[in-house]
């Protein structure tokens, strides 16, 4: 959640950092993961992977994180809800839904694949 912490993790030998505000549920003033993602990505500057965690419930949510520089996303709640509702088949179906939603989102933004995701996908003001 902090660019300086990300740089520290990198200097300590991290292969990846995860931008997550899991403690944010207890702190009313904690920033959202997606709001700090760009500054963490900039601090890392391509020297290791940056993963995004926090509120990914659809392919569109994942696309937003990818557009802001994350190399991947973590889907804890979606995975757990799907597992509880349908076991292994539920998890498989949840992944299919997120994948299909991501494909539609990419198509609607004129983006051909996840490697081409970037800020152009978002309406920046």
Q: Supply the residues annotated as catalytic.
A: 22
For residue 51, count CB atoms less than 10 angstroms from its CB and return exposed for 0-12, middle for 13-18, buried for 19 or more.
Answer: middle
Tell me if 52 sits within 8 A of 72, measured CB to CB.
yes
- Count of other CB atoms within 10 angstroms of residue 50: 23
Tokens representing residue 112 in the block? 């051909």
């Amino acid at each position: 959640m902090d660019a300086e912490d990300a740089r520290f993790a990198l200097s300590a030998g991290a292969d990846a950092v995860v931008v997550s505000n899991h403690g944010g549920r207890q702190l009313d003033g904690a920033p959202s993961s997606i709001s700090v993602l760009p500054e963490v990505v900039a601090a890392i500057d391509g020297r290791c992977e940056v993963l995004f965690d926090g509120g990914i419930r659809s392919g569109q949510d994942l696309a937003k994180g990818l557009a802001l520089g994350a190399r991947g996303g973590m889907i804890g709640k979606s995975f757990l809800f799907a597992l509880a509702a349908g076991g292994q088949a539920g998890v498989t179906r949840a992944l299919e839904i997120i994948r299909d939603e991501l494909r539609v989102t990419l198509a609607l933004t004129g983006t051909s694949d996840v490697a081409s995701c970037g800020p152009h996908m978002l309406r920046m003001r």
